[in-house]
Structure 1
Amino acid sequence: MFCYQCEQTAGCSGCTGAAGVCGKNAKISNLQDELTGALIGLARASDGNQPGPAAHKAMIEGLFVTVTNVNFSEDALRDQIEAVHRQKAALIPQCSDCGSPCIRNDDYDMNLLWNADEDIRSLKSLILFGLRGMAAYAYHALALGYSDDTVNQFFYKGLFAVGEDWTMEQLLPVVMETGEVNLKCMELLDKANTCAYGTPAPTTVSLAVEPGPFIIISGHDLKDLERLLIQTEGKGLSIYTHSEMLPAHAYPQLKKYAHLKGNFGTAWQNQQKEFDGVPAPILFTTNCLMPPKKSYQDRVFTTEVVAYPQLTHIGEGKDFTPVIEKALELGGYAQTQQFTGINGGSQVTTGFGHGTILAAADQVISAVKSGDIRHFFLVGGCDGARPGRNYYTDFVKKTPSDSVVLTLACGKYRFNDLDLGAIGGLPRIMDMGQCNDAYGAVKVALALADAFECGVNDLPLTLVLSWFEQKAVCILLTLLSLGIKNIYLGPTLPAFISPNVLSYLVDNFQIRKTSSPEEDLARILG
């Protein structure tokens, strides 16, 4: 196998051999490559044809299942490959009777990509991994009935470029366009979430677990959480969110359920320790699944595109009865268990989406003009297990008292239980939501720039990002497509960025690798 799409990749260069650091074995990795090659074949077949909703669904699902920590099932991946081949055959039925081996619509051999010139491989990887991240956002929007033709068509265009023998000059515009289209995709998801569940409002969430049977739900899919809340209402069960599901507590149409109680645990990489011994089932709705230990494997359930051998999968019927029955069987804790965050806090606050922050725009602008707020930091992104991520905890702790820390995604678990006080009538740490909510951060930045009649790069705003998987890649590309500069990125730089491509990003966007909190803060604040 060869895989270098996530931050934890072996030796910061690539996972090879029998298994990857994420836990997928060589068979799974090669099947994911085979699926990606089939998707490129579908993209080729779309050239001159008009793929419909069924092809779009196969494209989006096929890309999403190859995101890190989503799918570890050989059967599920083979089914997905067959689904993609069916859609390709429907687009070009004449090819089945054609005796001319033009290979125009053949599946792509991913070895051609992995063995390409390093700069070509780097740019194509940026496109491919960006598309995988964008597909996750499109998938969630589609689950709520929202789709966009520009977004759908670009999946074909982007993958077509990956399969072509193009130069760096031809690929660079596609890299930037990936970021541009992802902004549209994130805006679509934002609309889908708020139309379905209302505008998030600041909400304090307990980290305690009450006595009695309960279910932990992880991932990002708000629709699955809603389904679970409906099916468990009145059954004497409590529901606790985990990791990226935490911001669900801020949505009015979800928080109205009294049995949505609190949040369990911290970020995804701690699950093998935190889930061990918990007397409750865990439902995974999207990515962030780690191979479960045998000690709690019988309590883990998957749904949607998530799959793992020997785990019970809840199919399209969305009947969560097996999860409910397991919760009632296990019974939960006999007494209240008070858990804490990484820094010892007993509660966290979420719900500072763009709707809330922009509603207080006058208050924020006044605080900036009066000097009460000197600087804004967006400290967000994916968390992970690699040493050095305590940088983000230390960075936030060391930010000056006249600064605001905006955050989103699971990287916030490094510091979201800290109490840094308030400034200008607002808390100094404001959680804007999931990684899926990155559009909100962009919208706030653009609104502030408009209010101060300047460019985003002229604002007293610094982005300090942690990356792990492919959604972080497409968000970075979106920021670059907007011309945002001086981004601090860590804890390591992506293995798929070649020296020449890195030089291009540094020269044109002044991207910096994080160093130490003290050095970076001194540079930022002058």
Structure 2
Amino acid sequence: MLPAHGYPGLKKYAHLVGHFGGAWYRQKVDFAAFPGAIAVTTNCVLDPLTAYKNNIFTINETGLSGVSHIAADASGHKDFGPIIRRAMQLPGYSVEDVARAPAKRDVTVGFGHNAVLSVAPAVIEAIQTGKLEHIFLVGGCDGSEPQRKYYSKLYQHMPQSTMVLTLGCGKFRIFDQDFGTLPGTDLPRLLDMGQCNDAYSALVVATELAKVFKTDVNSLPLSLDLSWFEQKAVAVLLTLLHLGVRNIRLGPRLPAFLTPEAVGVLVERFNLMPANVADPATDMKNMMACK
């Protein structure tokens, strides 16, 4: 439910109180441990385990064999009664469960371009005074491959004078780190912009900063290090390339569906490069040098 907290239309409900679980690939562990009903709304859903198959419902375009689907009627109305009834049948968390739970962590979300641009003067001043030396964009899809630990390790090397924008489930690789605030300012060092398709917000922010500094996006102290797994992240990459954004790192490896000739074109025209999963410290050093 993490992205929901960034939408005023959902945030207004008092019973939207938190978030459970991590990236999509962990769902067979997370859903099996969750003692409640589950409504699935997006394509990042896996065939369920028997342990929770009777507790899961699909909505909209999602669907799974043997799983109850909540379809809209002729007027577009959806009856969520079956989900509510199943939730009431299940035990939920006991007092003992809550006592054994790990300490809660707070993460501030909802930094769409309107929110970020509302504090643009503070960001600009931080850049001009040297308090903010570099901005990183972490976007795209997470996955279970060991190489994706690169992203967690990479941001352990972030200097305190830097800020990171996150979007997509790749954010979960760094959400266990306490980034705090930018020294000498009240600006948080981690700004979560939402889901993969919220790359638009990141582009708006970058474009507006470029206007202020009378330059282009590629000349800003900004580095993009994207993770990909499927079509949404590839669509984000194609959008960035269409807009002429260069020097993008893509991991944990370049897509296998790209021919050597296609890779050559992308490297030559856009300086697209694979993430250096074996040496994240070197990647961080190069990005700080705008390479």
Q: Give TM-score scaled by structure 2 length.
A: 0.93
> 1:507 and 2:268 equivalent?
yes
Residue of structure 1 equivalent to 2:288:
525
Q: How far apart in 2 are the matches of 1:359 and 1:301?
A: 39
Q: What's 2:32 paired with?
A: 276
2:139 aligned to which of 374, 377, 380: 380
Q: Which residue of 2 aligns with 1:293?
A: 49
Distance of 2:148 and 2:221 partners within structure 1:
24
Aligned to 1:257: 13
Q: For residue 330 of structure 1, what is the aligned residue in structure 2? A: 90
Say which of 153, 161, 165 aligns to 1:406: 165
CA distance in 2, matches of 1:348, 1:390: 21
Alignment of 1:167-186 (within 5 A): none
Query: How far apart, in 1, do the equivalents of 2:272 and 2:150 lie?
Result: 17
Which structure has greater helix proportion?
1
Residue 46 of structure 2 aligns to a residue whose secondary structure is coil
Residue in 1 that maps onto 2:125? 366
Please tell me whether the aligned partners of residues 491 and 513 of structure 1 are also in contact (alpha carbons under 8 angstroms).
Answer: yes
CA contact (8 A) 2:166 2:192 kept: yes
Whether 1:480 and 2:236 are equivalent positions in the alignment is no
Matched, 1:321 2:58: no
CA contact (8 A) 1:347 1:417 kept: no
Q: Is the 8 A contact 1:280 1:327 kept in 2?
A: yes
The residue type equivalent to 2:81 in the other structure is: T
Contact 1:457 1:485 in 2 (8 A): yes
The amino acid of 1:469's aligned partner reads: E
* Aligned residue among 310, 315, 340 for 2:66: 310
Task: Sort the Cα spacing of 1:345 and 1:257 in 2 relative to 1 into closer, same or farther, 3 A.
Answer: closer
Give me the whole-angstrom Cα distance separating, in 2, the residues matched to 1:389 and 1:339: 26
Q: 1:517, 1:525 → 2: CA distance?
A: 12
The yes-or-no answer on 1:347 pairing with 2:103 is no
Provide the C-alpha distance between the structure 2 equivalents of 1:306 and 1:382, rounded to a whole number of angstroms.
18
1:333 partner SS: coil
Aligned match for 1:443, one of 204, 226, 230: 204
Question: Offset of 1:339 from its aligned partner?
Answer: 4.9
Are residue 461 (structure 1) and residue 217 (structure 2) matched?
A: no
What's the RMSD between the two structures over aligned residues?
1.4
Contact 2:5 / 2:11 at 8 angstroms: preserved in 1? Answer: yes
Query: 1:253 Cα shift?
Result: 2.0
Q: Which of 135, 139, 151 is residue 392 of structure 1 equivalent to?
A: 151
Counterpart residue number, 1:95: none
Change (3 A) 1:304 1:473: same
Residue aligning to 1:44: none
Which string of whole-angstrom CA distances, capped at 9 and with x for unpartnered residues, describes residues 262-284 of structure 1? 10111110010111132111111
Aligned partner letter, 1:509: F
Deviation of residue 486 (structure 1)?
0.4
Counterpart Cα distance in 1 of 2:26 and 2:141 = 13
Counterpart of 1:289, as a letter, is V
How many pairs were matched up? 279
Q: How do residues 131-170 of structure 1 correspond to structure 2 at under 5 angstroms?
A: none
Instruction: For residue 508 of structure 1, report the CA deviation from its aligned partner.
Output: 0.3
Which SS does the other structure have where 2:226 is aligned? strand
Unaligned runs of 5+ in 1: 1-240
**Distance of 1:339 and 1:251 partners within structure 2:** 27
Percent identity over the alignment is 48
Contact 1:349–1:416 under 8 Å retained in 2: no
| CA deviation after TM superposition for structure 1 residue 494, in Å | 0.8
Give CA deviations for 1:170-222 in whole Å, capped at 9, x if unaligned.
xxxxxxxxxxxxxxxxxxxxxxxxxxxxxxxxxxxxxxxxxxxxxxxxxxxxx
Alpha-carbon separation, structure 2, partners of 1:388 and 1:402 = 27
Q: How far off its partner does 1:255 sit?
A: 1.1
1 CA distance for matches of 2:288 and 2:17?
40
> Is the contact made by 1:345 and 1:417 (CA closer than 8 Å) also made in structure 2?
no
Partner of 1:70: none
Give secondary structure in 2 for the equivalent of 1:380.
strand
Deviation at 1:405, TM superposition (A): 0.6
Larger C-alpha radius of gyration, 1 or 2? 1
TM-score normalised by the chain length of structure 1: 0.52
Quickly say closer, same or farther: Cα 1:305–1:460, change in 2 above 3 A: same
Measure, in 1, the Cα distance between the counterparts of 2:175 and 2:63: 30
Q: In structure 1, what is the Cα distance between the partners aligned to 2:288 and 2:233?
A: 26
Classify 1:303/1:506 alpha carbon distance in 2 versus 1 (closer, same or farther; 3 Å).
Answer: same
Q: What's the offset of the Cα at 1:345? A: 6.1
CA contact (8 A) 1:376 1:403 kept: yes
What residue identity is the alignment partner of 1:323? I
Give the C-alpha shift of residue 492 in structure 1.
Answer: 1.6
The aligned counterpart of 1:266 is 22
Cα distance in 2 for partners of 1:348, 1:339 equals 17
1: CA distance between counterparts of 2:93 and 2:275?
42
| Contact 2:197/2:236, CA 8 A, preserved across alignment | no
Deviations 1:331-353 (A, max 9, x none): 3112263755xxx8623221111
User: In structure 2, how many angstroms separate the alpha carbons of the residues matched to 1:277 and 1:366?
Assistant: 46
Partner residue in 2 for 1:173: none
- Show CA shifts across 1:349-389 (max 9, x none): 21111111101111100000000000000012111111211
Match of 2:189 in 1: 428
